[in-house]
Amino acid sequence: MNTMLAARLHEPGGKLHLDNVPMPVAGAGDVVVQVEACNIVPNLANVLSADWAAMMKYLPLPKLPAIFGLDIAGVVHAVGQHVHAIKPGERVYVNPARGCGSCRFCRAGELLNCESFIYQGYFGRGPLSQAVFDRYPTGGLAQYSLAPADALVKLPNTITFEEASRFGYLGTGYGALKKSGLKPAGSVLINGVTGTLGVGTVLLALAMGAARILGVARNETLLARVKALAPGRIETLSTQSDNSVEAWAKSKTDGEGVDAVIDALPPRAPASAQLDAMQALRMGGTWVDVGGVADDLVLPNYWMKSRNVTLTAGRWFTPDDGREMAEMARGGTLDLSVFEHRRYRLADVNDAVAALKAGAATDAGGFTNFVVIP
Ligand SMILES: [Zn+2]
């Protein structure tokens, strides 16, 4: 039997162990991908912690020991007998969103709404998720991973594997912007703009042609880096020095407010910071929450009605959204060259997780990209 190296978690809160495990074998509609880069996303340290299993009962982990690792970019190694449009040797990003394949939502192509949904290599969304983990047990912290062929995004040669492994957070921002109905002549405020999700959302808003992009966060050094991405289109506000987001946003939009607010705040941020940014919406605008704020939000329902606004939330993105991002990157409208990659070998994966925990991502904020190169 062929084997491969994989970093596995054996107990909640423990270290990842480098183990020899069986190589995945492609089922008829599946693909085996040789992993060239796996992103160490900001939330991975939380998912691996002892607290997660205890507190996040509605987001179950796969049965341990398990191979984690969410966002994979690599090269197709083998394809199943019914896979015809993907060939060995092709460069791909692997969208880790998996459904059961047979419920009514999966059959309608809405696998994000599947009760058994999982992020392969990460966590599930319900008690039925383990069956999907059993079918696709390989996260990206391994030499090879198994995926259904319809999860793949083909990559042009101009996108590096490190850049492509960032597609998860980029796609979440892209999905939110699409949900907001943002138009090229439109305006968008991104709350938490200097984080991993925030920086990615700015890059997609630029790619989609948004005329006015307003970024709100605390760290002034990082905000200056965000503005430098496109000084003529981006304005920034540090809530460290000025808390009046609504007045500032209206001053930048002819007194109207913005068409859309995308909330990309991290888990520790207070719900009050979400409400402050929400007030920047124009009459009839749309708020989309894709961030990590866990506090309950007390909705200003009278304000909502009088301003005729839409408040909604979203998560993740489809493989076809991934294809669109790859195409924008190929054409040069989506600029992925801004990331500072921090590369770790598979054997050093615990160092990458420890660096995340220690806040090593904060000095360059969302411009940092932690990747493991197996
Ligand atoms: Zn399903």
Q: What are 336-350's pLDDT values in tens digits?
A: 999 999 999 999 999
Ligand 1 mean position to 321 CA, how many Å? 20
Residues 58 and 148 occupy one common structural domain: yes
Residues 159 and 177 occupy one common structural domain: no
> 361 pLDDT band (50/70/90 cuts)?
low
**What does the alpha-carbon distance between residue 174 and residue 165 come to, in Å, rounded to a whole number?**
15
For the CA atoms of 366, 372, 373, 374, the dihedral, rounded to the nearest 10 degrees, stands at: -160
CATH classification at residue 176: 3.40.50.720
Q: What is the pLDDT of residues 169-196, one digit of tens each?
A: 999 999 999 999 999 999 999 999 999 9
Q: What is the pLDDT of residues 70-129, one digit of tens each?
A: 999 999 999 999 999 999 999 999 999 999 999 999 999 899 999 999 999 999 998 889
**What does the alpha-carbon distance between residue 177 and residue 134 come to, in Å, rounded to a whole number?**
33
Q: Give the least confident one: 50-59, 243-252, 312-321, 326-335.
A: 50-59
- The predicted pLDDT at position 29 comes to 97
**What does the alpha-carbon distance between residue 160 and residue 43 come to, in Å, rounded to a whole number?**
23
Written as one string, the DSSP assignment of 73-90 is EEEEEEE-TT--S--TT-
Instruction: Write down the residue that tokens 């040669």 correspond to.
Output: 157
Report the mean per-residue pLDDT for the chain: 95
Structural domain count of the chain: 2
Residue 332: inside a domain, yes or no? no
Ligand 1 mean position to 264 CA, how many Å? 27
Q: What is the pLDDT of residues 237-249, one digit of tens each?
A: 999 988 799 999 9
Q: Kindly give the pairing relationship between strand 97-98 and strand 66-67.
A: unpaired
Residue 143 domain boundaries? 3-166+339-373
Rg (CA), the chain: 20
pLDDT: is 364 or 142 the higher one? 142
Q: What is the pLDDT of residues 20-51, one digit of tens each?
A: 999 999 999 999 999 999 999 888 988 999 88
Per-residue pLDDT for 1 more than 80? no
Ligand 1 mean position to 104 CA, how many Å? 7
Residue 133: inside a domain, yes or no? yes
Query: Can you say how many angstroms the Cα of residue 45 is from the centroid of all Cα atoms in its chain?
Result: 15
CATH classification at residue 125: 3.90.180.10
Ligand 1 mean position to 116 CA, how many Å? 6
**What does the alpha-carbon distance between residue 139 and residue 70 come to, in Å, rounded to a whole number?**
6
Burial of 337 (0-12, 13-18, 19+ CB in 10 A): exposed
Ligand 1 mean position to 115 CA, how many Å? 6
Tokens standing for residue 56: 């996040």
Average pLDDT over residues 315-322: 92
3-state secondary structure of 94: strand
